[in-house]
């Protein structure tokens, strides 16, 4: 199935590798402008270079989705750069190197349910959808 996303603007958390990068690549190849974020700058730069080859407008910023202010700033900057948001893909786990809930709380200080609530709030934020 071929999907045409020409003129659409997509934000993808955890977009520097794995499933997130594959989604970003597919969206860009389908015509969408794409903003990705991730915690590690190196893989993010590599992903940006790869995605830029599609000829679409690509934004890549370091952002930790467990930090409410950081995610809010990233979304606002990305929406401004792309001219709005049509698609939001919440791919980042926010769990670091493990999916173990206790390790998440110990390593970030943020309970898993609070991280999930932040991602849901981000998706519901009507101010982003222009």
Whether residue 2 lies inside any domain: the answer is no
Among 28, 38, 40, CA closest to 3: 28
Question: How many domains are there within the chain?
Answer: 1
* CATH code, domain with 82: 3.40.50.720
Whether residue 38 lies inside any domain: the answer is yes
Whether residue 1 lies inside any domain: the answer is no
Neighbouring C-alpha atoms within 13 Å toward the C-beta of 61: 19
Whether residue 92 lies inside any domain: the answer is yes
Rounded CA gap, 77 and 11, in Å?
A: 11
Spatial contact of 50 and 25, defined as CB atoms under 8 Å apart: yes
DSSP structural state of residue 55: T
Tens digits of pLDDT across the chain (130 residues): 688 999 999 999 999 999 999 999 999 999 999 999 999 999 999 999 999 999 999 999 999 888 888 888 998 899 999 999 899 898 886 555 444 444 444 445 556 566 666 666 666 665 555 5
Whether residue 4 lies inside any domain: the answer is no
Residue 123 has a pLDDT of 63
* pTM confidence score: 0.75
Whether residue 89 lies inside any domain: the answer is yes
Crossing angle (nearest 10°) for helices 112-124 and 101-108 = 80
Rounded CA gap, 16 and 38, in Å?
A: 6
Interacting residues of 81 by C-beta distance below 8 A, sequence separation 6+: 35, 57, 59
Whether residue 118 lies inside any domain: the answer is yes
Crossing angle (nearest 10°) for helices 112-124 and 68-82 = 30
State the residue range of the domain holding 45: 9-128
């Amino acid at each position: 199935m071929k999907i045409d996303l020409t003129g659409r603007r997509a934000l993808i958390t955890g977009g520097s590798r794995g499933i997130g990068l594959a989604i970003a690549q597919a969206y860009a190849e389908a015509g969408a402008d794409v903003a990705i974020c991730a915690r590690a700058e190196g893989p993010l730069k590599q992903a940006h270079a790869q995605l830029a080859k599609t000829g679409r407008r690509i934004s890549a910023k370091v952002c930790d989705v467990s930090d409410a202010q950081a995610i809010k700033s990233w979304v606002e900057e990305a929406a401004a750069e792309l001219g709005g948001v049509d698609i939001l893909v919440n791919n980042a786990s926010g769990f670091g190197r493990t999916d173990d809930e206790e390790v998440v709380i110990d390593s970030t200080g943020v309970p898993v349910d609070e991280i999930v609530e932040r991602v849901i709030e981000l998706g519901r934020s009507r101010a982003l959808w222009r």
